[in-house]
Amino acid sequence: MTNTLRLKPFELKVPWSKFSPQEGEADCLCAFCGTVIGVPEDDPRMDEHDEDCVGCELCNVAVRMWRGKGKATEEIRFHTACLQMCVKP
């Protein structure tokens, strides 16, 4: 039995792109909800952030997918929770 990832049909809020911004940058947007993913590394709240935390807005990292090859490669990004809403079980 093989597992395959199947996305439910949904409208992209943010299209595929040729660049790969870091979490917290204004251009690191979720394709599903259209909001910024994560916070910049120099966010002062990170000083008191629990290193064992998973899933809050401070430690949220982008789930990234790519298509194409070479110069034609494009990337799309999602919040973990948003991707879970897009994937069929």
- Cβ distance 7 to 86 under 8 Å? yes
| pLDDT of 45 over the 90 cut | no
Q: What angle do CA 55, 77, 12 make, to 5 degrees?
A: 115
When pLDDT is cut at 50, 70 and 90, the band that residue 31 belongs to is very high
Mean pLDDT, to the nearest integer, of 27-54?
83
Task: Determine phi and psi for 42, rounding to 5 degrees.
Answer: -90, 15
Q: Which residue has the higher pLDDT, 88 or 36?
A: 36
Helix (H, G, I), strand (E, B) or coil at 44: helix
Q: How far apart are CA 29 and CA 22, in angstroms?
A: 10
Bridge partners for 77 per DSSP: 64
The domain limits of the chain are 8-89
Its pTM stands at 0.76
- pLDDT category of residue 2 using cuts at 50, 70 and 90: low
